[in-house]
Structure 1
Amino acid sequence: MLASLVAEVRGRPDMTYGQLLQAAGQVADRFRAEPGVVEVDEVAEKPVERWLFVTDQEKAALAGVSVAEIAETIRTAVDGDDSVVLREPNERQPLRVLVRLPRTARSDPRDLSRLQVVGRTGRTVTLSELGTWQPTRTGQPIHHKNLQRVAYVMAECVGRPPAECVVDILADQQPDGTAIADPNATPRPVAERTYLQPGGGVPWSMPIGTEVTFAGEGEWKITLDVFRDLGLAFGAAMIMIYVILVAQTGSFVLPIIVMLAIPLTVLGVMPGFWLLNQISGTTVGGYADPVFFTATAMIGMIALAGIVTRDAIILVDFMELAVNKGRPLFDAILESRVVRLRPILLTAGAALLSSLPITLDPIFSGLGWSLIFGLIASTIFTLFVIPATYWLLKAGKE
């Protein structure tokens, strides 16, 4: 992962890399206008001046100096030579001695021109007599991904998840070549944005022939992959729970009633995280420091699928046994809530209290809060939804 927020800019094969860098600059300008996006950086590097020594072949031949000897002399002066080792009695490994000119004597071509080169005849010749220094510039490195040229724009997100920043930025994107982002524009406040009406009101677009993607090397890509995999794991857990309940109850309908407690956890987890940030939200360096619904919180929801199912089984099993013994359906439902209330509260309370220490961990706090909010909501709703659903299923058969 290069950064929290990474944009990959690609273009047509006939476009130069400089044009890709210009397109990346427009994306960077839009990043700078987005609240909560800081440390915007591009892969474009400033040209660096480089000095190249051009040897006069004729003068070098007359002086009996080869080009390789000139290159070796310059390399030793600039990079140094560590072929000499020093052995100390108290050292296990020999110490290498680096011989190199001081920085002040090797930073100016005029100082390097005074170097002495030893020729094949043993005669020393000043470097300035063998050629001249010519200024050049280093080339711009070209980045590739999947055999395509790509220009990266990187940034960090503070106080906001990268997903929200990406959604708001993409919401303001216009057709190619129709708008240029203003990095000094005043965007719409984050508090006024919603999931139905995203965007900061700062229009921008890509140059014609270029495209930008965000699901590449940033946290957005990792978020998509992680929640996709956890979603598949959650679905697999639901299927396994259903299979086990069918084998246990011998019915294809009763497991559905029992598993109604699982989606009820969402009614507690999502509003719970919102309420937590409203009550205990803090700021660091002037930016919000919220508790996000992360991958660990999703793991907590998967764990909740087994915990809340157990509470529902306690109710349904009691109602089934009571009805089979001849108790009226309504009386069996009321009696199950009275008799099984204490075991349900004790099991939920034990799981809730054991989750409190997890909330102190900076990484797994989402898992702890997910368990707590899900248990509270699911326990409350289970006492009403499961009996009501059971009544609707069985009432017509009596």
Structure 2
Amino acid sequence: PGDLSPAVTIAVAKRKGANAIVVANQVLEKVELLKGRIIPKDVNVTVTRNYGETAREKNNELLFHMALAVISVTLLIAVALGIRESGVVLIAIPVTLALTLLVFRLTGFTLNRVTLFALIFSIGILVDDAIVVVENIARHLRLPENRGRPLREIVAEAVDEVGNPTILATFTVIAAVLPMAFVKGLMGPYMRPIPIGASAAMLFSLLVAFIVTPWATLKLIKREGEIHHAPESWTTRFYRKVMRPLIYRPVIRSVFLFGTVALLLFAIAFLPLKWVTVKMLPFDNKSEFQIIIDMDEGTTLEETARVAREIGDYLATVPEVTDYQLYIGTAAPFNFNGLVRHYYLRRGANVADIQVNLLPKHERESQSHDIAKRIRPAVQKTAEKYGARVKVVEVPPGPPVLQTLVAEVYGPDYEKQREVAKQILQIFKTTEGVVDADWYMEADQVEWRFTVDKEKAALHGISTEHVTNALTLALSGMKVGLAHQPQEKEDLVIFVRFPRHARSNLESLKDIKLMSPSGQMIPISELVRVEKHLSPKSIYHKNLLPVVYVTADVAGREESPVYAILKLNKRLKEELKLPDNRQTSIEIWNIRQPFTTDKWAVKWDGEWHITYEVFRDLGISFAMVLVLIYILVVGWFKDFLTPLVIMSAIPFSLIGILPAHAAMGAFFTATSMIGFIAGAGIVVRNSIILVDFIEVRLRQGMPLGEAVIDAGAVRFRPMLLTASAVIVGSAVILFDPIFQGLAISLMAGEVASLLLSRMAVPVLYFLLKRRLAQHQGKTAQV
């Protein structure tokens, strides 16, 4: 950094469906072959951006994490159940993943970061079926009454015992994640591989659990002669010890239930107290960012270059910066931000673009977002010195938007609309946490109009066209002929124009002399009136309505547009002065565009709009999840109240999710919501199997209280294993910048569910059945 050299940038893009890694490697190989032939030896070729290398690094990292998750889950099963049992699960995982990859192939998804995350996310939940089947087989093998029986019969009986509830539970998880595939807007295609991949993985895991797992068990598990009775594990004994007072001692039971509800309310309070903040997606850790420079229209190219170079000199002192490129008067090569922000269309003497490259993330301690925040004050200080407007722009983690904060200003009069927008821009600049404020409006530019006095021109015999052609030649230039050069293959165009200093001087233009028919030289100043005006400004439209855009980014403690908009809404209502007295305050539209421009209004767009769309659609998906789960459970248990008991465990996962986000300093993001919804399916899945076992015990003649305790004790170890598998499988993505929220929701939700729901559901089921028995006038054995 700091050693500036003139450069030409060549950008190469891959075709749709092509492999970015292969294309990048072939381009670099071709460049090496061209050196010394097409590319002279004294020309230095530097790669300033290689998204093929970025894709390779991301994919390799995720493939490593996926392998680590598979090995970790297998080791977990080996420790809990045994080496042979873990071998059964180890067979089930790759078979299921291979079938899921086939689904991705058939649905047109490529192997990218999101699809790989979908596979890693699936690992923690796809082993659930295999764990339930393997653990139940292992339990049956240890029962005294099965001593001497053929292994094939024991396996078939064990699979049959958990078969129906496992089918229902699996479809419950699918019902929990599949509706997320119908999220609309820009985020829909981005997150669609997760619900599709997870649903396919669960369906295939069910088939593998009923087909491959019993076969693998017959091949790997101990033979009949080795079956022995084993005492209950410490987890089972612990569960019985905890549950007995909860069932038989009303005071302890009431304290537990009210305490659980209190914990839930306390956890939910983390959101309004801002101990956990909501954001669309967290900031990613990239190896690049941009600095966009805008000067007032009419600024010279040299002045713009001076600002860009001074900012570049500062960037050279930042230790994490490896190099930077200055694009002055033109745009940087097309990139992700350019899709929506239209940076690639920027042209003119008053604009510049600095592309900043950072050290690879494993060679620096700070994340790219922290570096961008750190340099912003110094960059802004330099810009203010020259009256420039700068924006430090990071690569968006999800779909790009025009800007994080976008205020669309509407009104009945466009000139006054600009005045209102100017006030809003000032409010943006003075609001804490709002940075890089700007608006889509040109600065005032003086325009000199040469109006031909036709009477004077006619007296001298000079036409209006003659005057116009002379000024056009002076200002814009004109082709006046061809020069024939013997050594050139083609004729050279002769282009005539005044030098820059002459065409920039009003007096020089007035002194241009035109020849009259009489041969007299007449200065243009005698033929025209020179009038000073302001040049007209651009008028932007959205859905045919005139609009003025005011944009900004957010930084600081909250770093989410949601909280910035709440503060800005209050200030707009209190401080904004409207041009007329017909309105006391400006209308604020958070979702829809105003239908007409009869009233002064501001509509929020940018990242807020995508945040609203995604959380709205995820909320609708969650409602669909609840309805589908309820229908499935009602159909199985043939009861309208039991499903409510089973589903009561869903909100309890928030007791772990929200405090865990606060402890990790993480945003509650769209991926966090995905984790919560998927976790709801897992929680209900375990509750279904638990309640089904309770009813099996009741049909066997066991008293209600003992049936609840015994069924919970029998199912506690497999539920502990499935929760541990989800936690271990998700741990590998815990520190990923984008999918951290999903990992936190799954891990913390499972911990809270294991510690609370596995006790709360049996207690609530016990209370429900006892009350129904009393209501029917029966005496229940308790």
State the TM-score, normalizing by the size of structure 1: 0.74
Pairs aligned (count): 347
In the alignment, is residue 168 of structure 1 matched against residue 567 of structure 2?
yes
Kindly provide the CA deviation profile for residues 362-398 of structure 1, in whole angstroms up to 9, marking residues without a partner as x: 3333222222222222222211111111111122322
Q: Distance in 1 between matches of 2:481 and 2:753?
A: 74
Alignment of 1:76-91 (within 5 A): 76-80=473-477
Structure 2 residue 505 is the aligned partner of structure 1 residue 108: yes
Q: Bigger CA drift: 140-149 or 102-111?
A: 140-149
Give the Cα separation in 2 of the matches to 1:330 and 1:122.
119
Once residues 246 and 83 of structure 1 are traced to their aligned partners in structure 2, the CA distance between those partners, rounded to angstroms, is: 87
Single out whichever of 139-148 and 151-160 deviates more from structure 2.
Answer: 139-148
User: CA separation in 1, counterparts of 2:577 and 2:745?
Assistant: 40
1:328 and 2:703 correspond: yes
Partner of 2:471: helix, strand, or coil?
Answer: helix
Q: Does 1:6 align with 2:403?
A: no
User: CA-to-partner distance for each residue in 1:206-242, whole Å, 9 max, x for gaps?
Assistant: 4342514252323333322221121111111111111
Paired position in structure 2 for 1:41: 438
Partners of 1:75 and 1:143 lie apart in 2 by: 29
Aligned to 2:356: none
**Cα distance, 1:48 vs. partner?**
0.8
In 2, the alpha carbon distance for the partners of 1:50 and 1:74 equals: 14
Measured after TM superposition, the shift of residue 36 of structure 1 is 0.8
Q: Secondary structure of 1:267's match?
A: helix
Contact 2:441–2:537, Cα closer than 8 Å, also in 1: yes
Question: Is 1:255 the counterpart of 2:626 in the alignment?
Answer: no
Q: Is the 8 A contact 1:51 1:133 kept in 2?
A: yes
Aligned to 1:272: 660
Structure 1 residues 140 and 368: alpha-carbon distance in aligned structure 2, compared to 1, 3 A threshold: same
What pairs with 1:11-30 in structure 2 (closer than 5 Å)? 11=411, 13=412, 16-30=413-427
User: Would the aligned equivalents of 1:21 and 1:151 in 2 still touch at CA under 8 Å?
Assistant: yes
Q: 1: CA distance between counterparts of 2:494 and 2:703?
A: 96
| Structure 2: distance between partners of 1:72 and 1:367 | 67
Residue 722 of structure 2: aligned partner: 347
Could you tell me which residue of structure 2 aligns to residue 138 of structure 1? 535
**Structure 2 residue identity aligned to 1:346:** L
1:311-333 per-residue CA deviation (whole Å, 9 max, x = no partner) reads 21221121111111112222222
Distance 1:169 1:118 in 2: 63
Q: CA deviation at 1:247?
A: 2.2
Q: Quote the Cα distance in structure 2 between the aligned partners of 1:151 and 1:240.
A: 45
Q: Which residue number in structure 2 is paired with residue 182 of structure 1? A: none
Change in 2 beyond 3 A, CA 1:262/1:53? same
The 3 A distance-change label for structure 1 pair 104 and 168 is same
- In structure 1, give the amino acid aligned to 2:464: V
- Deviation string, structure 1 residues 174-215 (Cα, Å, up to 9, x no partner): 6xxxxxxxxxxxxxxxxxxxxxxxxxxxx5354342514252
Q: CA deviation at 1:69?
A: 4.5
Q: Which residue of 1 aligns with 2:200?
A: none
Which residue does 2:555 correspond to in 1?
Answer: 158
Q: What is aligned with 1:220?
A: 608
Q: Does the aligned pair in 2 maintain the 1:6–1:214 contact within 8 Å?
A: no
Alignment RMSD:
3.5
CA separation of 1:259 and 1:23: change in aligned 2, threshold 3 A: same
1:49-102 CA distances to partner (integer Å, 9 max, x unpaired)?
Answer: 11222223245446665434443443344344589999xxxxxxxx99976544
Q: Which amino acid aligns with 2:685?
A: R
Which structure has the highest helix share of the two? 2
Q: Which amino acid aligns with 1:234?
A: F
Runs (5+) with no aligned partner, structure 1: 87-94, 175-202, 278-290
Q: Deviations over 1:257-312 (max 9, x none)?
A: 221221222222222212221xxxxxxxxxxxxx3212222222222221221121
Match of 2:681 in 1: 306
Query: Aligned equivalents of 1:251 and 1:66: distance in 2?
Result: 96
Of 164-173 and 250-259, more deviation after overlay is shown by 164-173
Instruction: Indicate the SS of the match to 1:340.
Output: helix
The answer to whether the 8 A contact 2:424-2:572 is kept is: no
Change (3 A) 1:275 1:53: same
Residues 97, 239 of structure 1: alpha-carbon distance in 2 compared, 3 angstrom cutoff: farther
Conservation of the 8 A alpha-carbon contact between 1:7 and 1:213 = no
* Separation of aligned partners in 1, 2:731 and 2:512: 71
Cα drift, residue 27 of structure 1: 3.5
8 Å CA contact 1:116–1:125 kept in 2: the answer is yes
Whole-Å Cα distance in 2 between the matches of residues 81 and 235 of structure 1? 68
Structure 2 counterpart of 1:317, from 672, 692, 703: 692
2-structure distance, mates of 1:218, 1:298: 20
Partner SS, residue 46 of structure 1: coil
When residues 70 and 378 of structure 1 are mapped into structure 2, their CA distance, relative to the original with a 3 A threshold, is farther
1:102/1:333 Cα in 2 relative to 1: closer, same or farther (>3 Å)?
A: farther
- Displacement of 1:348 in angstroms is 1.5
Query: Is residue 296–residue 367 contact of structure 1 (8 Å, CA) maintained in 2?
Result: yes
Contact between 1:53 and 1:131, CA under 8 Å: does it hold in 2?
yes
The amino acid that maps onto 2:633 is L
**Residues 85 and 313 of structure 1, relative CA distance in 2, 3 Å threshold:** farther
Partner of 1:57: 454
Higher strand residue share: 1
Partners of 2:569 and 2:588 within 8 A in 1:
no
